[in-house]
Amino acid sequence: MENHLRILLDNVKNGHRLSDDDAVELFRVQNRDIWKIASAADEKREEQAGNAVTYVRNQNINVTNLCVNACGFCGFSKKPGDEGIYFHDKQEILKKATLAKKRGVTEICTVSGLHPDFNARSYCDLYRWICEAAPGVHLHAGNPMEVAYAARKSHMSTKDVLILMKEAGLGSMCGTAAEILVDAIREKICPQKVSTVEWVRIIREAHSLGIPTTATIMYGHCESVEDRVKHLAILREIQDETRGFTEFVPLSFIHMNTPIFRQKLARAGATGREDLLMVSVARLYLDNFRNIQVSWVKEGIKMAQLSLVAGANDLGGTMFEESISKGAGAINTDYLDPAEMQRVAEDVGRTLKRRTTVYGLV
Ligand code: SF4
């Protein structure tokens, strides 16, 4: 095994593409060999993305937590009649976007529940308001689920919705709602969400329209190692065709306040070993992705720092307002000062650099 691992990592170093079986094998490693994998991934990171640790100054605007879906891993959404429902109207959105602009962010993200009254026009209005109040700020919004929902509510094709969204100011789309791109798992954790085929189709449509997207995975609940690899294989195949993914963002499952954990359908999130290997194996397997992001919101800053020497090159956003992970039970998710990012980057011998959403330098 040890010898086989060495050959496999040497092959990757020499430009050989990892097979799905190779990736499964790497994900299964449980002993000190994880450091060898992390080290190989760190070398690959240096070769593909250089030595800078990047971040974006951004702000989330969570429009509403009211949602027609009921995903089992979600601790954020509310149903009509629940306590703590909020909905930000035009005036509040304009206020938040204006404040974001004043704070000097270069990116605004919207994340929301699927409001029962939303349709394609609601999303486009929202994007226009934000662009009007924060001119020049990149709008990173929507996801394949929201696009499919808007299309259904407005009796349009998803491609036409994307065209309207782009006209309304959408700069790039979130590659969320991916969770695990295996329908048997989606049935268990998010049965009302878009299917794997729909997710892939909408992402391809976005890329074909010049709308770049991120790519994500949510892991550590009830998926197997093989499921994770199937998911990564789909992302690698799309990227081969479109080159439309800006980065890969692994999202470790935050379990505390979620229905699937309470119902014992999911475990208590990924372990530290799994978090580290997710970054490292992704760096080695996704050979057509330049950027691997580590989410300090999901992993905490200490684990995020270790990920920077295990294949990751990006720390994501500063945030200001974060409700999704907080709803699921995470703490300290609102804002990370770039000074703290700089401290952890320099502590592993790297330089922190600010970037735009699509990885240009600011
Ligand atoms: S994950 Fe999104 S779509 Fe699913 S219940 Fe939560 S807010 Fe709604």
- 169 burial via Cβ count (<10 Å: 0-12, 13-18, 19+): buried
User: Is residue 301 scored above 90 in pLDDT?
Assistant: yes
The reply to whether ligand 1 has any atom less than 6 angstroms from the CB of 254 is no
Confirm or reject: Cβ of 64 under 6 Å from ligand 1.
Answer: no
Instruction: Reply yes or no on whether the pLDDT at 48 is more than 90.
Output: yes
Residue from 85, 145, 179, 257 to probe ligand 1 pocket by mutation (most atoms less than 8 Å from CB)? 145
DSSP 204-251: HHHHHTT--EEEEEEESSS--HHHHHHHHHHHHHHHHHH--EEEEEEE
Distance CA 298, CA 313 (A): 16
Mapped onto helix, strand or coil, the DSSP state of residue 108 is: strand
What pLDDT, on the 0 to 100 scale, is given for residue 209? 98
Q: Does 165 sit in the ligand 1 pocket, CB within 6 Å?
A: no
Q: Which two tokens stand for residue 247?
A: 């980065």
Q: Is 145's C-beta closer than 6 angstroms to any atom of ligand 1? A: yes
Give yes or no for residue 71 CB within 6 A of ligand 1: yes
Distance from residue 67's CA to the centre of ligand 1 (Å): 6
Which pair of structure tokens corresponds to residue 275? 């978090």
pLDDT band, very low/low/confident/very high, at 1 (cuts 50, 70, 90): low
Residue 326 has pLDDT above 90, yes or no: no
Per-residue pLDDT at 259 exceeds 70: yes
Quote the ligand 1 centre to 346 CA distance (angstroms): 37
| Residue type, position 315, single letter | L
Does 148 contact ligand 1 (Cβ within 6 A)?
no
Looking at every residue in the chain, the average pLDDT score rounds to: 95
Across 340-344, average pLDDT: 95
Is the distance from the beta carbon of residue 144 to the nearest atom of ligand 1 less than 6 Å? Answer: no
Give me ligand 1 centre to Cα 66, in Å.
9
For 206, how many CA atoms within 13 A lie in the half-sphere containing its CB?
A: 34
CA of 90 to the centre of ligand 1 (A): 22
CA of 1 to the centre of ligand 1 (A): 42
- 120 CA → ligand 1 middle, Å: 18
Q: What is the pLDDT of residue 322?
A: 62
Q: In this structure, which residue's CA is closest to atom 2 in ligand 1? A: 113
> Span 185-191, mean pLDDT?
97
- Helix, coil or strand: residue 139: strand
Residue 320 has pLDDT above 80, yes or no: no
- Report pLDDT for 35: 98
Nearest CA to ligand 1 atom 3: 69
What is the band of 333 on the pLDDT scale with cuts at 50, 70, 90? Answer: low
Q: Roughly what angle, to the nearest 10 degrees, separates helices 144-154 and 196-208? A: 90
pLDDT at site 336: 87
Q: Where residue 335 falls among pLDDT bands split at 50, 70, 90?
A: confident
pTM as predicted: 0.96
- Residue 284 beta carbon below 6 angstroms from any ligand 1 atom: no
Q: Does residue 70's CB lie within 6 angstroms of at least one atom of ligand 1?
A: yes
Query: Ligand 1: does its nearest atom lie under 6 Å from the Cβ of 246?
Result: no
CA–CA dist 178, 16 (Å, integer): 27
Span 117-168, pLDDT tens digits: 999 999 999 999 999 999 999 999 999 999 999 999 999 999 999 999 999 9
Edge-first strand listing for the sheet containing 351-354: 314-317, 52-56, 351-354
CA distance 147 to 53: 32
Q: Give the Å distance between the CA of 197 and the centre of ligand 1.
A: 19
**Which residue blocks in 50-195 are alpha helix, DSSP H?**
90-102, 120-133, 144-154, 158-167, 183-189
d(CA 276, CA 33): 12
Residue 334 has pLDDT above 90, yes or no: no
Ligand 1 centroid to residue 141 C-alpha, Å: 15
Cα 351 from chain centre? 23
Q: Considering only CA atoms, which residue is closest to atom 4 of ligand 1?
A: 71
Phi-psi region of 79 (alpha: psi -120 to 50; beta: other; left: phi over 0): beta
